[in-house]
Chains A and B, each alone.
Chain A
Amino acid sequence: MKETRLHEWHVRAGAKMAPFAGYDMPISYPMGSVEEHLCTRRSVGLFDIDHMGQIEVKGAGAADFVSKMVTVRVLDMKDGDARYSLFLTEQGTVLDDLFVYKIPGSFWLVVNASNREKDLNWLNEHKPSNVEITDKSPETYMIAVQGPKAIELLDSLSDKPVSALARFTSGNANILGVPCLVGRTGYTGEDGVELFFPDKDAERLWTGLINEGEKLGIEVKAIGLGARDSLRFEAGMPLYGHELSEELSPLEVGFKWAMDMDKDFVGKAAVLRFADIGAKRKLVGLSVQGGVPREGYEVQDASGRKLGVVVAGMFCPTAKLFAANAIIDSAAGKTGDSLKVIIRGRPASATIIKRPFYVPAYKR
């Protein structure tokens, strides 16, 4: 089991630790996942996400190579741009989801911890000779600073205004003296940033943000993976292995927008074939009464016919809903329709509702 540099800090803070993607990670702190979620929505949450992978791609052929490997448009990216994208298999299903950062001289691909090895192998299999691929994960630390007061906090601790960065762009800044690549990105539905910086500075920056926040009168709390999941879920963001997987086409889960069909990319031919046939399944949001809908629970229509299965479900602390994302027959149901989710052998009432359950702050 691997540990991040902040492992000891988490343990001292009383976190419940559990294995995630090969790392012993904090699931929740003593304040609890629900309160951590709410703190991120009202002030600032700090997330240790050092388990995420960072892959550098550089060389004369880098732009063309990245363009071929990811679904999003790449060739028009300027230094500082950051875009959400997918890697697809040749079968047109999802190998991983990632952020593509264009930075001076290279691309950085920020990938899921659980898929890092798979992604690296797959990239190297396709790599031409004029491209260099380097796994930067070991020496790069990554934390997320998220919440409505995150930018105010960082502006006062940075040598350059973080507020000057537009959403989905990145730039360099020294924060509390630590040289950071700052991406105005995140996975919570709140404004904020993700910071990349030298591994050795992890505890200094982490504790510095908490202590300086206190001096400034800004509530800054460490947030575990439990609340990270409910924040992303409520805000309609996918988690690989749930809403995205090698079993699902992006067209079944509403990710057409993440693909640029005007360029070539691995998996495109399969996506086009799939589009011709038409999706037989779709991703819907459900509001459920009478229990917590959880992954794997069956979804039925009113007559008891199986329509599909819950891929993620939980209590949403801000929306105050028991909600699920389910993959169901594409012909079955529209917003407002009543379905059933089978909880412990009993059908619980469910209603198809619009996703996301919480509209991200930067989209309002």
Chain B
Amino acid sequence: MGTETRYRSSHEWARKDGAAFVVGISEHAQESLGDIVFVELPETGKELKQGEAFGVVESVKAASDVYMPLSGKVLEVNGDIEADPALVNREPLAGGWLIKIEASKPAEWDGLLSKEAYDTEVSKE
């Protein structure tokens, strides 16, 4: 299931992309943040553990940390959202991805939530 998207309850998602994983924020997260006006992303090469903050998404209202769904090294950041942060609002699961990582503990994937499990969790908020 190479194209399956899995979630963390802190509202990030991860998806396998070749040998790497793409990471972004969920539709629910962008919708509750409102208009996103600035995104702060890490340097490539940075190594972070699962659950550590890797960046900040700033909406009109507030600044929110975003957390690593999986432990790993940052391979690439999405340069498109620097000029157009609202891309994260428009396409949170596609063009508005945040970073690509090389997972250092691929087994963590098994502990992430399926879309159904994440949606159920969100509906309880």
Residues of A within 8 A of B (CB): 16, 27-28, 32-35, 226, 230, 290-292, 294, 314-315, 322, 344
Contact = CB atoms under 8 A, between A and B. Distances in A.
A229 to B, nearest CB: 9
A314 B60 contact: yes
A230 B35 CA distance: 13
Given A32-B89, A34-B86, A344-B56, A292 B63 contact: yes
Interface of B: 34-35, 37-38, 40, 56, 58, 60-61, 63, 86, 89
A32 B35 contact: yes
Given A292-B58, A344-B56, A34 B63 contact: no
A187 B89 CA distance: 28
Contacts of A28: 34-35, 60
A314 B35 CA distance: 12
A35 B56 CA distance: 22
A291 B38 contact: yes
Contacts, number: 42
A290 B40 CA distance: 8
B63 A294 contact: yes
B63 A226 contact: no
A33 B35 contact: yes
Contacts of B86: 34
Contacts of B58: 291-292
A292 B37 contact: yes
B60 A34 contact: yes
B38 A292 contact: yes
Given A294-B63, A344-B56, A315 B34 contact: no
Contact of B34 (A226, A291, A294): A226
Nearest to B86: A34
Given A291-B58, A292-B58, A344-B56, A32 B34 contact: yes
Contacts of A32: 34-35, 60, 89
